[in-house]
A and B are shown apart, each in its own frame.
Chain A
Amino acid sequence: MTIKKRATWHKRHDLPWLLVFVLPAFLIVVAVQFYPLAYSALLSVQEWSLTESQAPQGFVGWDNFARELGDSTFQRSVRNSIVITGGAVILEMFLGVCLAYLTMGSSWRMRAVRTLLILPMVIAPVAAGTLWRILLNSRAGLVNHLLGFIGIKGPEWLASPDWAVVAVILLDTWQWTPFVLLVAGAAIASIPEDLLEVAAIDGASRWQVFLYVELPLLMPLLLLTLVFRTLESLLSLDSIYSLTFGGPGFSTYTMTFYIYTQGLRNFNFGAAAASSWMFMVFASICIWLVFWFQRRER
């Protein structure tokens, strides 16, 4: 056998082995992801409240969807999700990019600052929620105490419907600005140095260089990060669970939290499945955007 023949012979005989390699992962993903997904699609068109019956109570078509859309808590959750995710992601993008510029460089001091700044990201979201619950206690909390130093009387963070929303935004921003910092930092570092030098020689000010040279180069990645963060923020449950538990009242119910309570607190399986599929449609559009951005990047 010549060398070349042997190589092609191998390639053909490799295939069964390669399939065996892929098989375990494939089976687990189908069993743990695709089967439940199909199951939940099936549940969304059925009536099933576990408190009333141990088995599905019959096919109801689009009823669950219509009922959920008309539900005032559902509507409120959608609004809350938009406000919280919108607010948090805008803050994160702005602060993250600023901090990325301010922490550029490879001196030990900058490296230390960066290491420190990413710490919030590695904390379990559920623990971050309890942490901020301690900090935001309206009378005995540290935040209002510090605000008192500069003469501001802090609000009733977690007891007021509006400030509770702000609190959730602050927590998300505190925890996830580091993510934007990391991604933006990596992107800035990859801009060719000479490009900036040429612009500077041409007499452009630092601000102009940023606006006309760097920003267009960073834009695709920043947009990708934006969609990334939007999705993650929409899907987060843990931090709201431990910071406000949706309260006071329903004022910090987000889509994810609403579906969670519908399904695993009230055991309205049909309703929860229907709302989660409506949510899924929106998430799928975002996921498609991420995919599209990634392909363009390559």
Chain B
Amino acid sequence: MRNKTSAKIFLLKLLHGLILSVACLVVLIPLIYLIINSVKLPREFLTVPPTILPSEVTFQHYQELIDDAKTIRYFRNSLTVSFWTTAITIVSGTLAAYGLARMKLAARLLAGITFIFLFIRFYPRVTTVIPFFLVMRQLDLLDTVWAIIIGHLGITIPFVTWLMLVVFQDLPQEIEEAAIVDGSSVWQRFWRVVLPIVMPSVSAAAILTAFLSWNEFLIASSVARRKASVLSIAVASFVSDKGIQWGPMAAMSVVMILPMIIFALFAQKYLIRGITFGAVKG
């Protein structure tokens, strides 16, 4: 009897380990294979069976990307877009959230505002892409990084405001009361008392904004063609009528993915909090 149960436990543990190993492999193998593909010789791309361990490691695809002025521009544009989107979003979103949280709005009104945030997070973005394109054309901003930044701000500002609103609402009022009694202004209270406390949440919001902006494709591809093209557009552009350029496509994907994976490994907690926000509170 006793032996039977311990055997059963052993088997269950084995099964548990096995399932988790399979899950990890399913995640890891595609990523490793992508990296392998980015250092493969062109002639080893379409071999049957596939070349899993290339006969020779080559960095020619990366070299080609670096030598091409366009790649450097894509990378710079992606960085510019992410940076300005994050900076503007964090400043205006945090301020707006603080303002909303301290206005003492009626519960119904606040619920309505929350619904608007939720709506902007989830409505079919393709609806507004064409009007946005037309507006940018009118303002003569087509194919500039600012068109992309403005488009991203429309998504990230409501999201960050919502995220920070929850944070400010959970903050006990007593924290500010001493400062009120001292006669400090709203701005002083926000800057000296509240902001230092909520800094971890602000970092989470900033990381999330940079992540969203870096990965975004729809808005970028609708307003940028050549000059302002970013990495997400570049990755998609290797598939064309002339066939697929496997090597550069793999190399460019690695260039795009790697920063976010490093982000995920070092700032995991923050990133997760942002991504699951709305489903899990706070």
Within 8 A of A (CB), among B133-148: 133-135
| Contact bitstring A28-46, B, C-beta under 8 A = 1, else 0 | 1101110111011001000
Shortest beta-carbon distance from B123 to chain A in Å: 6
Which of A35, A124, A142, A294 has its CB near the most chain B CB atoms (within 10 A)? A124
Q: Does B84 contact A (CB under 8 A)?
A: no
Find out whether the CB atom of B24 lies under 8 angstroms from the CB atom of A117.
yes
Of listed B114, B186, B246, residue having the most chain A CB within 10 A: B186
- A119–B180 CB distance below 8 A: no
B130, B264, B275, B276 interface centre (most CB from chain A within 10 Å): B130
A65 CB within 8 Å of chain B: no
Q: Which residues of B contact A297 (CB under 8 A)?
A: 281
Q: Are B26 and A291 in contact (CB under 8 A)?
A: no
**CB-CB nearest in chain A for B217:** A238
B199 CB within 8 Å of chain A: no
| B123-A39 in contact (CB<8A) | no
Partner of A43, one of B104, B130, B161, B190: B130
Count chain A residues whose beta carbon lies closer than 8 angstroms to a beta carbon of B. Answer: 100
Does the CB pair A121–B126 fall under 8 Å?
Answer: no
Give complex CA distance A231, B122 in Å.
7
Q: Are A115 and B265 in contact (CB under 8 A)?
A: yes
- Given A123-B261, A130-B235, A32-B180 contact (CB < 8 Å): no
Measured CB to CB, the closest approach of chain A to B146, in angstroms, equals 12
Are B217 and A125 interface neighbours, CB within 8 A? yes
Which B residues are in CB contact (< 8 Å) with A22? 95-96, 99-100, 103
Cβ of B250 within 8 Å of any chain A Cβ, yes or no, is yes
Q: Does A150 contact B (CB under 8 A)?
A: no
Complex CA gap A35/B131 in Å reads 8
Stretch at the interface among B2-10, B42-50, B53-61: B42-50
Check B98 against A21 for contact (C-beta < 8 Å): yes
Contact (Cβ within 8 A) A290 B278 = yes
**Given contacts A113-B20, A140-B45, A141-B50, is CB(A283)–CB(B111) below 8 Å?**
no
Chain B residue nearest to A290 (CB atoms) is: B118
Secondary structure at the B interface, as helix, strand, loop or mixed, is: helix
Max chain B Cβ within 10 angstroms of own Cβ: one of A36, A273, A294: A36
Q: Which stretch in A66-74, A84-92, A255-263 binds the other chain?
A: A255-263
Contacts of A286 in B (CB 8 A): 122
Secondary structure call for the A interface: helix
Contact between B260 and A123 (Cβ–Cβ < 8 Å)?
Answer: yes
Segment of A10-18, A160-168, A191-199, A211-219 engaged in the interface with chain B: A10-18
By the criterion CB–CB under 8 Å, are A259 and B126 in contact?
yes
Closest-CB distance, A81 to chain B (whole angstroms): 11
Complex Cα distance, B280 from A164, in Å, reads 33
Complex alpha-carbon distance, A174 and B29, angstroms:
12
Which of A7, A24, A235 contacts B124 (CB under 8 A)?
Answer: A235
Contact bitstring B154-185, A, C-beta under 8 A = 1, else 0: 10011001000000000000000100110101
Tell me, yes or no, whether A169 is within 8 Å of chain B by CB: no
Smallest CB separation, A23 vs chain B (Å): 8
Which of A122, A245, A256 sits near B263, CB closer than 8 Å?
A122
A6 interface hit (Cβ, 8 Å): yes
> In the complex, A123 Cα to B127 Cα: how many Å?
25
B14 contacts partner chain A, Cβ-Cβ < 8 Å = no
Min Cβ gap B99→A in Å is: 3
Q: Which 10 A-B pairs have the closest CB atoms?
A: A32-B154, A21-B99, A25-B96, A39-B131, A36-B131, A36-B128, A124-B215, A276-B127, A22-B99, A238-B217
The 17 sampled A-B contact pairs (Cβ below 8 Å) are A15-B103, A18-B99, A18-B102, A21-B96, A118-B272, A119-B261, A119-B264, A122-B211, A124-B215, A124-B232, A126-B232, A145-B50, A237-B218, A260-B126, A269-B134, A279-B127, A287-B118
A residues whose Cβ falls under 8 Å from a Cβ of B: 3, 6-7, 10-11, 14-15, 17-22, 24-26, 28-29, 31-33, 35-37, 39-40, 43, 99, 102-103, 113, 115-127, 129-135, 137, 139-142, 145, 148, 174, 179, 182-183, 186-187, 221, 224-225, 228, 231-232, 234-235, 237-238, 241-242, 245, 255-256, 259-260, 263-264, 269, 272-273, 276-277, 279-280, 283-284, 286-287, 290-291, 294-295, 297-298
